[in-house]
A = this chain, B = another copy of it.
C-alpha cells in the first residue's frame, strides 16, 4: 500500500470516529508503520520529539488506541508491563518467540497451529476474537555466548 493511500485510509477511520485530522496523529501513524520493530509508546514519543514534531505522551497513547481499533497496529503484551505496538499495514498474522536474555523478538507463523486453535474454539463453543501465542526462551545468539 502506498503512503498516500494509507493516509487516506487513516483519514477515513478518523472520520468514522468523528475525529479531526491532526499532524500529530499522522506523524504517529507514519512513525509506527515505517518501522518493522515492536515499539513502545515512550519510544515513539521520543522519536517524534527528536524529529522536532510537537507531541505529548497522552496523544501517543490516545492515538495508539485508534490505530489498534482500526487494524493499523497490533498491541503486544510480553508480560513486563510495557505495551508494544507493531504495524499491521501489509503485515500478515504471526506469533512470537521472545528471548529472555536479550529481549529479541522473532516472528513465526504455523498454519497447523492456527487451525487447531480454531477447532479448540469450536469444541468449546467459544468465539475467538484474537489470540496471542508467545514462546519464551533463549535465542541462538544468546546460546552461543
**Chain A residues with a Cβ under 8 A of chain B:** 77, 79, 81, 97, 99-100, 106, 108, 110, 112-113, 116-117, 120-121, 124-140, 143
Contacts and interface: CB of A to CB of B under 8 A. Distances in A.
A126 B98 CA distance: 9
A131 B133 contact: yes
B137 A134 contact: no
Contacts of A113: 113, 116-117
B116 A127 contact: no
A87 B133 CA distance: 21
Contacts of A116: 110, 112-113, 116
A92 B129 CA distance: 26
Contacts of A138: 126-127, 129
Contacts of A112: 112, 116
Contacts of A130: 136-137
18 contacts: A97-B126, A110-B116, A112-B116, A113-B113, A113-B116, A116-B116, A120-B135, A121-B137, A125-B140, A126-B137, A126-B139, A129-B138, A131-B133, A131-B135, A131-B136, A132-B133, A132-B134, A133-B133
A128 B135 contact: yes
A136 B140 contact: no
A89 B136 CA distance: 22
A97 B124 contact: yes
